[in-house]
Amino acid sequence: MNSGGTNARIGYIAFNTFREAVRDRVLYNLIAFALLLSGAAILVGEISIDIERLVVVNLGLTAVSLFGVVIAIFIGIGLVSKEIDKRTLYTVLSRPVRRWEFVVGKFFGLTGTLVVNTFFMALGVFLALLYVAHKFEMMDVWVLVALYFIVLQFLIVCALALFFSSFSTPLMSAVFTFALFVVGSLAEDLRGFARITQGVGGWLATAIAYLVPNFSALNVISQVAHGDAIPGRLILYDSVYALLYSAMAISGAVLIFQRRNLK
């Protein structure tokens, strides 16, 4: 099987995953998001002073992140188990599709779904910004960077959900992934704890701090809400980090899925 064929097969699985997610009405969350954001934009203008932009950015980006993470977890955990339950996995694997291609294709399909979802939500955020501020400002560029970081978060969450779903039940996969998301969101505190702890506890805390996904490094929502610039080097490092961490989780998923007895 050549690499062109591999790419085609991965692309086909990814496209089907995306199509299935759309068919499952995943994008309906956009309606809830639009209602939330437009409601907040209008309401805050009525009841508060001078924090309209702040609220739209904070609420908008937080909602983009949380909606996306929830989608990533709840679709990601079912990607493998659903195919087994519906017995469609056997049909797919009986064709010239390797197991690793199946895993990687599913990953791209899910991240593609989230990127499309995020694109529409980002449009909503910028429309709400335009509504409250009546114009765009230079600092709104950083909102784009924050949105990019959120997409990087999704990469990691998708990869983790897929990793756990490669060996665990959907419920346990959801629990594991969500727990890692929470721990990873508090990673700065964990790292701070590791820095001030001595001895074995310090080593252990450092190891855990480096092993769990550092979602807090990918969260710049508060900074961009206040118009703070994001350093170029952070954008580069965070991009590399998210790609490597996702690759790590996907490799783990491939290794497990290769060995899994599907009978």
Footprint on this chain of other proteins (rule: CB under 8 A): 98-100, 186, 188-189, 191-193, 195-196, 210, 214, 216-217, 222-223, 225-226, 228, 231, 233-234, 237-238, 240-241, 244-245, 247-248, 251-252, 254-255, 258
Residue the block writes with tokens 């964990």: 190
What tokens appear for 138 in the block?
Answer: 């230079």
As measured in angstroms, the least distance from the Cβ of 47 to other proteins is: 15
Nearest distance, CB of residue 230 and other proteins, angstroms = 9
Residue 154: how many CB atoms within 10 A of its CB? 27
Q: What share of the chain is helix, strand, coil (3-state, %, to 5)?
A: 85, 0, 15
- Nearest distance in Å: CB 25, other proteins: 28
In this structure, what token pair is assigned to residue 87? 């017995």
Query: Of the two residues 30 and 202, which places its CB atom closer to other proteins in the complex?
Result: 202
Could you tell me the smallest distance in angstroms from the CB atom of residue 1 to other proteins?
Answer: 9
Compute the least distance from the CB of residue 87 to other proteins, in Å: 22
Q: Which two tokens stand for residue 69?
A: 């993470």
Residue 81: in which H helix or E strand, if any?
helix 78-85
Least distance from other proteins to the Cβ atom of residue 99, Å = 8
Place of tokens 């702890």: 197
Structure token pair of residue 14? 């990814």
Question: Minimal CA–CA distance to 164: which of 152, 179, 185?
Answer: 179
Q: Alpha-carbon distance 189 to 218, whole Å?
A: 14
Q: Rounded distance, CA 126 to CA 248, Å? A: 34
